[in-house]
């Protein structure tokens, strides 16, 4: 048996009336964003992900490049 991809699973659930198109789109969009963030995390030092930018987030913590990049992706 071949593994099912998330997209195929969601399409099947939508076709069967278990989820609506908006929910399927939301889940697929979040999954793509998570994958894009994962790629950036894996690049890590190559892109300077740990570099502090000199700005602070709402909790008054120093923001790192990866924080900002992840926020932009989402």
User: What is the tens place of the pLDDT at every residue in 42-60?
Assistant: 887 666 666 777 788 788 8
What is the pLDDT of the chain when averaged over all its residues? 88
Alpha carbon distance 62, 56 (integer Å): 5
Bridge partners (DSSP) listed for residue 70: none
pLDDT value of residue 66: 83
**Continuous segment of H or E residues that includes residue 37:** helix 21-43
The ranges of the chain with pLDDT < 70 are 45-50
Identify which of 71, 6, 63 has the alpha carbon closest to the alpha carbon of residue 40. Answer: 71
pLDDT value of residue 64: 81
pLDDT value of residue 7: 95
Bridge partners (DSSP) listed for residue 61: none
4: DSSP letter: P
């Amino acid at each position: 048996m071949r593994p099912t991809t998330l997209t195929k699973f969601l399409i099947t659930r939508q076709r069967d009336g278990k989820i609506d198109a908006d929910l399927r789109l939301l889940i697929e969009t979040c999954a793509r964003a998570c994958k894009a963030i994962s790629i950036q995390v894996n690049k890590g030092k190559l892109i300077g992900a740990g570099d502090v930018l000199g700005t602070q987030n709402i909790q008054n913590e120093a923001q790192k490049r990866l924080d900002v990049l992840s926020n932009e992706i989402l």
